[in-house]
Amino acid sequence: MINEIVGMVLICVGITFDFFGVLGLIRLPDVYNRLQAATKCVTFGSAGILLGVLIIHGFSDLGIKALLGIFFIFLTSPVAAHAIARASHRSKIKLCDETIIDRYQEDNELLDKGVDMTSVEETNN
Amino acid sequence: MKLIRWLIGITIISVCTYFNFFVYEGALLIKLINVVLFLSLFILFRVMRGPSAADRIVAVDILGVLIIGLLALIGLFYDQSFFMDIGLIWALLSFIASLAFSKILEGRRLDD
Amino acid sequence: MSIKWRSRLTVYILSLLIWFALTDIKKFEEVAAGIVISFLVSLIAGHMLVTTEKSKSPIMRFKSAVIYLFKFLWEMIKANIHVAYIVLHPNLPIKPGIVKIKTRLTKDIAITVLTNSITLTPGTLTIDVDKQAGEIYIHWIDTFTIDTDQATKEIGGKFEKNLVEVFE
């Protein structure tokens, strides 16, 4: 009885944070901000739902699969977010207008100029 | 303008919550499953509407993580464990798909 | 025993345990199929799990890993409340920017764990890692400072000490 109540509370908290993540996906202005809100909140929310299922059902086959699912989403979700963020920055998708600094862009431009300078010097020699 | 849109959104969400939790009669788990289905409808809106390809990839990746939770709830309701198998494989495939899509978006070849 | 075969043995034991957890252990066919399949899996893909020797004792590493885990969970709860505040606010109070931080970690797995936990903690998202220079580029949703050293202390400093003890 007590574990059903605790599991239900965990499931409700998880669904609430899922809702916040999806709301961030709808409301925020550009890809990077959307990725931040969605990755954090939806990962935490789904982990909460799976933990609630594990607590309600105990260590049966469904519970152990839910535990595997928690490990799996904690490992894969940030990696996918990182890959998408780097790809969208390299394919020159603009950041939103409120952005105040972009160190990655500056360093890439410096790197490009440096490579050009050395190649020019080598050809001259 | 922003405030008006925020108020409209809050009103729609409160009306939907009211109808789901107080008017509709059913088990509590079914109501929670309804909420998650509604959230995946929001994500499909972003897939349809997204200005760039990256937005669509983000939405599909997030949908994969949400679906694990949904299938765990369905498995809890019907007391069957094979729904969770579907969820794990769905999440694995959506992870691999988002990695492959981001590689294509970056302009690299897949066997790089 | 070389390090490759030790890694394969670890993968064999882990996959056998997961197989027994998912199937019925009383049936003979299930156990036999599990032994054969875990052997094949560890032979094909087992050499990738453990690649470096560790110098510290396992008990100390386990202790700092547990401390790290609790710190990480607390930061993650804070991150979710922060995102909920931003998303529910009518004016969307964001001030995004991409900053650069430095790291002392050198091993692949340590950098992976650091970047994953940076992605799941308040307001930050890893964009790229420059392994030779030891620099990480981070998208920050409300940029507190644009100075590299201060940002290092603010973002990576919480986790780096524990990760050095666990992995290096």
Task: Look over chain B and give the mean of its residue pLDDT values, rounded to a whole number.
Answer: 87
Residue in chain B closest to A56 (alpha carbons) equals B76
Cβ(A60)–Cβ(B77) below 8 Å: no
Report the residue of chain C nearest A86, measured CA to CA.
C127
B11 inside domain = no
- Whether residue B15 is contained in a domain is answered as no
Place of tokens 């009103």: B11
The answer to whether residue B21 scores a pLDDT higher than 50 is yes
A/C interface, count of CB pairs below 8 Å: 119
Nearest Cβ partner for B52 among A15, A49, A93: A93
- Please give the pLDDT value at position A51: 92
Read off the pLDDT of each residue in C116-145 and give the average, rounded to a whole number: 82
| Closest CA relative to residue A36, chosen from C108, C87, B28 | C87
Residue B21 lies in a domain: no
Answer whether residue B94 is part of any domain.
Answer: yes
Inside any domain, residue B72? yes
| Structure token digits, residue C88 | 């529910």
Backbone phi, psi, residue B79, to 5°: 60, 40
| B94/chain A closest Cα distance in angstroms | 10
Chain centroid to CA C63: 16
| Helix ranges restricted to H, chain B | 2-18, 28-49, 53-78, 82-106
For chain B, the domain total comes to: 1
Which amino acid belongs to residue B87?
Answer: G
Instruction: Report the alpha-carbon distance of residue C125 to residue A36 in Å, rounded.
Output: 6
> How many CB atoms are closer than 10 A to CB B106?
16
Closest-approach residue (CA) in chain C for A74: C116
Q: Is A25 within 8 Å of B85 when comparing Cβ atoms?
A: no
A114 pLDDT band, cuts 50/70/90, is low
* Sequence ranges of the domains in chain C: 3-48, 58-167
Asked if the structure places residue B80 within a domain, the reply is yes
Provide the ipTM: 0.87
Cβ neighbours of C96 in A, within 8 Å:
30, 32-33, 95-96, 98-100
B8 part of a folded domain = no
More confident: B106 or B89: B89
pLDDT at residue A121, as a whole number:
44
Local confidence band at A119 (pLDDT 50, 70, 90 cut-offs): very low
Q: What's chain A's average pLDDT? A: 81
Domain hosting B46: range is: 27-106
